Structure 1
Amino acid sequence: MPRTLSIITAAHAPSASYLKEAYESLSAQELPDGWQWEWLVQEDGETGTVAAALPADERIKAASARPGGPGVARTVALSRATGELIKNFDADDKLLPGALARDIKKLDELPEIGWTTSRVLDLLPNGEVVSWEHEDPAEGLIPRGQTLREWRENAWRLPIHPVTMCMRRDLCIALGGWMALTSAEDTGLLIPASVLRDGYFIHEPSMLYRKHPEQVTVQQYHVDEIERERRRLLIASRADALAQLCG
């Protein structure tokens, strides 16, 4: 039986128009021998717009549920995932060649790690592709606790991009999936995971991170400092509690 990578995407009506390009970048991926992927696309809402925007492909498993935010949508999709690895993939982004193969290879080669992340390139509205605005770390292992410590010490600027994370299923399930936050739900999964298991940073870019006016990270509720501080406190407190409980 082939081994499966489950790719999980939360989408809503405003992001449906980007799904065609996301799918094209996914279908162009070459996986290692013995591997296959499934794409679980979960609409945050029940308009039917998302399912209608998806092509006919038996590897796509679309569903919808009442609105609850992207974290809830991703975790609902997780309940349908059959893969041993779970890959985060935003509806408006595009995978670069070799992205999935590199994740699989590292998690296969290094049984001691629980997750991977990688470099991203920003895709601007005019089509220009530029490097992420922050300096990336060198390729290599990320010891438990390091990501949380660097996040705190660098004014809450993440040293790695959570949108690229790929994680072992058991770790993702043990953490309850993505945190039910209004935004930054991927940070809410990555930071707690990073205090439980070592990770690995892949320096080769894996994703085009699309910048556009409708994206979550430019909305007022995401950048509001009071709400942002509450998210940080909750994520960090959860990670601290897990680190203490698990030694």
Structure 2
Amino acid sequence: MTRRVTVVTAVHGPSARFLPDAYASLCEQRLPGGWDWEWLIQQDGTTDEVRPYVPDDARVSFGQGRPGGPGVARTIALARAKGAYVKVLDADDRLTPGALARDVAVLEADPTVSWTTSQALDLLPDGTTAGFPGNPDDGPLERGAVLDHWKRNDFRAPVHPATLCVRRELLMALGGWMALPASEDTGLLLALDAVGHGWFSAEAGLLHRKWQGQVTGQASHVDPVERAARMTVAEARARALAASRWTYPAAPADPAATR
């Protein structure tokens, strides 16, 4: 029986033209025997701008819905998800060769790892790439490590949330992405960090396109009042999850506690 990785992409009109590049990067992926991917493209809106760019491939499904931002689009797309693992791929980004196979290998090898991330490289308009300073070492990320770094470094996480691959069961338990106008993926990353161990791959897994129309490049994204509110809510959720002592996977019961 074929096992799947579900790749989820939120898209709106201006970013639709990049979908063929994202699709090409998916087609370059070589997964272990018995595995395949499915691609859930979800438009944040109901216009006719996106559909012409959706590939004609049985592994690809396309949905539309009323505008609510990328987090809402991704979460709605989960209704169609069949994979054991869910991988994020923004419409304007590209996976590097081998990215999905590395995610699968880690999650299959160690059931105590709940989510994975990898190094991301900025893909600049001239086609060159640039890395990010301060990546962690290749290997496991202990619970709480991401939140601690994020809090100490002006709300900058040590790993990029656009590279996340997560166990679908856990993603559903957390309710998908946060209902925020931006930073919804950072909110999810902090929640995952609060309840489960992660993994960072130092090998680049994503080319993060930089272009004039991207949402994170707009002035509204850095509005100080809204940014402070987003960070406050994301942190409060993560700390509440950590305080609940709920973990994924659930810790074995202590026999002494039941005596």
| Bin for the TM-score computed over the shorter chain | over 0.9
Corresponding residue of 1:40: 40
C-alpha separation in 1, matches of 2:157 and 2:224: 16
Corresponding residue of 2:49: 49
Deviation, 1:128, is: 1.4
Corresponding residue of 2:250: none
Is contact 1:44-1:69 (8 Å) kept?
yes
C-alpha separation in 1, matches of 2:10 and 2:120: 19
1:21-67 CA-partner distances (Å, limit 9, x unpaired): 01001111100111110000000000132222112100001010011
C-alpha separation in 1, matches of 2:51 and 2:40: 11
Deviation, 1:125, is: 1.1
- The one-letter amino acid of 1:155's match is D
> What are the residue-to-residue correspondences of 1:64-143 with 2, within 5 Å?
64-132=64-132, 134-143=133-142
> How many equivalent pairs are there?
246
1:105-147 CA-partner distances (Å, limit 9, x unpaired): 0001111010000001111112111212x32111011011111
C-alpha separation in 1, matches of 2:236 and 2:97: 37
Tell me whether 1:206 sits opposite 2:189 in the alignment: no
Structure 1 stretches of 4+ with a deviation exceeding 2 A read: none
Is contact 1:123-1:130 (8 Å) kept?
yes
Unaligned runs of 5+ in 2: 247-259
Tell me whether 1:189 sits opposite 2:194 in the alignment: no
Is contact 1:118-1:161 (8 Å) kept?
yes
Corresponding residue of 1:172: 171
| TM-score (ref. length: structure 2) | 0.93
SS of 2:125 mapped into structure 1:
coil
C-alpha separation in 2, matches of 1:4 and 1:203: 24
- The one-letter amino acid of 1:84's match is A
Tell me whether 1:242 sits opposite 2:248 in the alignment: no
Corresponding residue of 1:9: 9
Corresponding residue of 1:158: 157
- The one-letter amino acid of 1:113's match is V
- The one-letter amino acid of 2:62's match is A
C-alpha separation in 2, matches of 1:78 and 1:188: 17
Deviation, 1:233, is: 0.4
- The one-letter amino acid of 2:103's match is D
Unaligned runs of 5+ in 1: none
Deviation, 1:223, is: 1.1
| Aligned CA-pair RMSD | 0.9
Deviation, 1:246, is: 2.5
Is contact 1:51-1:63 (8 Å) kept?
no
SS of 2:159 mapped into structure 1:
coil
Deviation, 1:226, is: 1.2
Deviation, 1:96, is: 0.5
Deviation, 1:153, is: 1.3
Identity of aligned residues (%): 49
Corresponding residue of 1:20: 20
C-alpha separation in 2, matches of 1:93 and 1:74: 15
Tell me whether 1:63 sits opposite 2:45 in the alignment: no
- The one-letter amino acid of 1:175's match is L
Deviation, 1:218, is: 0.8
C-alpha separation in 2, matches of 1:128 and 1:116: 25
Deviation, 1:173, is: 0.3
- The one-letter amino acid of 2:177's match is W
